[in-house]
Amino acid sequence: MQQQLTAALSSVPDEVRRLFHGRGRRWAGLEQVTVDWLQGVLLVALFRAPEGAELAALQQMLLALAESPAWRQSGAHSLLLQHRYLPDSPTEYLLGEALDEWQVCENGLRFKLDLGKKQNNGLFLDMRYGRRWVQQQARGKRVLNLFAYTCGFSVAALAGGAAHVVNLDMAKAALNRGRDNHRLNQHDLSRVSFLGHELFKSWGAVNRSAPYDLIIIDPPSFQKGSFALTKDYQKILRRLPDLLAEHGMVLACVNDPAIGPDFLIDGMAREAPALGFVERLENPPEFADIDPDSGLKALVFARRAG
């Protein structure tokens, strides 16, 4: 991994990007390690408890990396190691002062991240192409963004000229960060709505702004007490025909390695046959996986003609 990171730091991207994706299982023994470039901050995440001397060896390698010419050339100033296998996913600073917040850019758009405080920092990097697709599709459209989190899709939609976006997420703190992200990009907040509700108790609020030209569904695989992917996704799919405009489109996503794209294709055919499968969006090359069906599934559907 040191070799890959040294090469990556020698020519770091201008924007936020994953540099090493061990979870794609292309590097034996490193399946539980990821490394993200957060434009000056290098975030290393461990998803499995290290054995024996593994942790000390990893820390030593990272600190040696921080002494290298490639590190200095990159302009990096902070090195973080996050222990995702522990409760609350604590983060230790191996180098640099603690940063509660940090701003990054993706596709010319700005986002505010939380560093060292939460399991997720506020932007899922594997959805880069999905946000780009939404930006390309959004002009003049009314958009519904379900499980909006920090409103990355909403920021992309407004940047693409969406008429209005409705964001729904039960985590109001995440929606507040979504407002921050829109403000960072100098967006007109009168064109954005934020609904801090649990979806299955809030169909009335969702229906009030229907019909939508574009609906985005990007749920967690599991959210205690509110959502279980294999049990609840179909409840959303069967609502789509009533929410979608005549020529509307849906971007439906699943990011569970154990569930392939047929889960959505077959589920849509069963629950909402008025919608047909159009395409699966490519995943960014830095998220390559030995089994493409284990990676992010971002599928586009459209209402059938007639």
What are the E-state strand segments in the chain? 17-21, 33-37, 41-46, 78-83, 91-95, 101-106, 109-114, 142-146, 164-168, 192-195, 212-217, 222-223, 227-228, 244-254, 275-280, 297-303
pTM of the model: 0.95
In a domain, 212, yes or no: yes
Q: For residue 161, give both structure tokens.
A: 């000229």
Q: What is the pLDDT of residues 59-79, one digit of tens each?
A: 999 999 999 999 999 999 999
| Nearest of 128, 42, 131 to residue 91 by alpha carbon | 42
Hey, which residues does 302 pair with through a beta bridge?
A: 249, 276
Q: Are residues 224 and 83 in the same domain?
A: no
Q: Are residues 34 and 178 in the same domain?
A: no
Q: What is the CATH number of the domain that holds 246?
A: 3.40.50.150
pLDDT at res. 223: 65
Q: Are residues 93 and 202 in the same domain?
A: no
pLDDT at res. 151: 98
Q: What is the CATH number of the domain that holds 92?
A: 3.30.750.80
Q: Are residues 45 and 133 in the same domain?
A: no
Domain enclosing residue 223, as ranges:
125-303
Q: Are residues 84 and 130 in the same domain?
A: no
Q: What is the pLDDT of residues 85-94, one digit of tens each?
A: 999 999 999 9
The one-letter code for the residue type at 45 is A
| Nearest of 290, 225, 302 to residue 24 by alpha carbon | 290
Q: What is the pLDDT of residues 246-302, one digit of tens each?
A: 999 999 999 999 999 999 999 999 999 999 999 999 999 999 999 999 999 999 999
Q: Can you say whether the dihedral through the CA atoms of 21, 25, 30, 33 is positive or negative?
A: positive
Q: Are residues 145 and 281 in the same domain?
A: yes
Q: pLDDT confidence of 225, banded at 50, 70, 90?
A: low
Q: Are residues 80 and 140 in the same domain?
A: no
Q: Are residues 203 and 66 in the same domain?
A: no
In a domain, 188, yes or no: yes
Under 8 Å between Cβ of 168 and 148? yes
Q: pLDDT confidence of 222, banded at 50, 70, 90?
A: low
Q: What is the number of domains present in the chain?
A: 2
pLDDT at res. 82: 97
